[in-house]
Amino acid sequence: MSDKSFLKSWRQRAATATLLTLLSASALAAADPIKVGLVAALSGQSAKSGEALTRGLTIAINEINAAGGIKGRPLELVRRDDESNPGKGMLAARELVQREKVAVLFGGLDTPVSLAIVPLANQMKMPFVGIWAAGTGITHNGAKDNYVFRVSAVDELVDQALVDYGITQKGMQKPGMILVNNPWGESNEKGFHAALEKHSMKAVGVERIEDSDVDLVPQLTRLKNQGTDTLLMVGNVGPSAQVVKSLTKMNWNVPVVSHWGPAGGRFSELAGPGADRVTFIQTFVFTDHNSAKGDRVMAELKKQYPQIKGLADVTPAVGIANAYDAMHLTALALNQAASTEGTAVRDGFYAIKHYDGLIKQYQQPFTPQQHDALGPKDYVFAHFVGEQIVPVSQ
């Protein structure tokens, strides 16, 4: 073949490939989208976390759609703000299911909101995937026909990890609990007591905090007078920040070992100079040395969200990672399912064999008996350094 003939043939093949790509993209755009819904706190003190969930889902959806979508249909994300209010969250979930006709519902930050949605999801046979809230009862909800899955932490497992960390790393012998006064705090109190019992230990005191509290010196003074040598803390951004500010006011340098509430928003700003004293649990942290997938996701974050310049700008990374992996697992379930009908999708989750994720390599992450994809071996401990969340080993 002459050079001229070869060049002509190559140009024809290239033109054909380009045309097929354009036709494929056009066909995907023309197909009816499969809607997935997100109910999360998109405003208020936890808005950064809601935005992290949105970003994780969005990056995964873009990857899935670029690869052809779900059986030729693109995914489309529809969001609703629950304002961290269980009633509003339940109404938002109902709207997404009944009006928007979502195939899968993703749930956001607050355990009380998720617990309010769980009965609705099971009643309507709507797959509901938790990507932040850690309340044990969300997936362990007692339903015979359970449609609730989770790619996130689980309170009873987190509590074991926090107690073990307190003992081995902080020398904890007399733990005191400071817990938000809601179902999430109640869930963790049970978990802490069970975890401490395994070490033949008891809490010297348990104190409650309200979201509206601005001075926690009375509660913390009682714990100090009872001999507390390590604080076990559970609370979202605002209450956790108030704990730190009150400790600073008291000049009490007690170690604080916390659930991941401080990672959920403007904690370092609200807590002030003492923010770095709190060690908390995470499922994922971006660092300077990520996996290849971690580097790729970070590059996409910077590309799609120009305000992200570096690691400090992706706080909280746990929301991005949980949502990203959950969306890809959901895509696998949708591809396995015979239809987008709830029961078919639910069974699609059970059929997932493997997924090489951002957090870990998942091997059969879900079964009818196990609806939590992450376990205690998937947790890492971190703290704030300035505005950046950094693993404690660094």
C-alpha distances (whole Å) from 284 to each of 58, 314, 315, 317, 392 are 18, 12, 11, 7, 13
Cα 74 from Cα 125, distance rounded (Å): 23
Q: Say if 392 falls within a structural domain.
A: no
* 119 & 142 share domain: yes
Closest CA to 167 of 205, 191, 200: 200
Looking at the fold, whether 247 and 300 belong to one and the same domain comes out as no
In 3D space, the residue among 12, 17, 37, 60 whose CA is nearest the CA of residue 342 turns out to be: 37
Per the structure, the complete domain to which residue 168 belongs is given by 156-282
CATH number at residue 91: 3.40.50.2300
Residue 261 lies in a domain: yes
Give the pLDDT confidence score for residue 23 in this predicted structure: 46
DSSP-assigned states of every residue in 226-265? TT-SEEEEE--HHHHHHHHHHHHHHT----EEE-SGGGGS
pLDDT at position 122 is 98
Residue 10 belongs to some domain of the structure: no
Please state the domain count of the chain: 2
**Last residue of one domain, picked from the residues 250, 282, 314:** 282
Contact assessment for residue 102 and residue 345, using Cβ atoms and an 8 Å cutoff = no
**Cα separation, 82 vs 368, whole angstroms:** 29
- Is residue 233 a part of any domain in this protein? yes
Q: What is the pLDDT of residues 267-298, one digit of tens each?
A: 888 898 889 999 999 999 998 889 999 999 99
What is the structure's pLDDT at 13? 61
Using the 3D structure, point to which of 282, 298, 322 is the last residue of a domain: 282
CA atoms within 13 A on the CB side of 382: 27
Distance separating alpha carbons of residues 220 and 8, to the nearest angstrom: 80
For residue 360, tell me if it sits in a domain: yes
H or E stretch covering 380:
strand 380-385
The strand pair at 175-180 and 230-234 is best described as: parallel
Check whether residue 175 and residue 128 sit in a common domain.
no
Residues 331 and 352 in one domain: yes
Distances (CA, A) of 182 to 25, 51, 65, 185: 48, 24, 39, 5
Q: Are residues 85 and 123 in the same domain?
A: yes
* Ranges of the chain whose pLDDT falls below 50: 6, 10, 20-24, 394
b (16+ CB within 10 A) / e for 191-221? bbbebbeeeebebbbbbbbeeebeebeebbe
Q: What was the pLDDT predicted at 341?
A: 97
Assess if residue 388 is contained within a domain. no
Question: Do residues 354 and 328 make contact, with C-beta atoms less than 8 angstroms apart?
Answer: no
Kindly tell me the sign of the dihedral angle through the C-alpha atoms of 83, 84, 85, 89. positive
Which among 75, 88, 86, 83 has a CA at the least distance from the CA of 37?
75
Interatomic CA distance for residues 314 and 307, integer angstroms: 10
Picking from 243, 264, 282, the residue at the C-terminal end of a domain is 282
Backbone angles phi, psi at 128, to 5 degrees: -125, 115
User: For residue 138, is it within any domain?
Assistant: yes
* 297, 303, 309, 313: CA torsion to nearest 10: -50
Do 277 and 295 lie in one domain? The reply is no
Q: HEC string of 96-148? A: HHHCCCCCEEEECCCHHHHHHHHHHHHHCCCCEEECCCCCHHHHCCCCCCCCE
Tell which residue, 101, 39, 71, 78, has the closest CA to residue 331.
71
CB 130 within 8 A of CB 104: no
On whether both 179 and 245 belong to a single domain, the answer is: yes
Residue 141 covered by a domain = yes
Residues 163 and 273 in one domain: yes
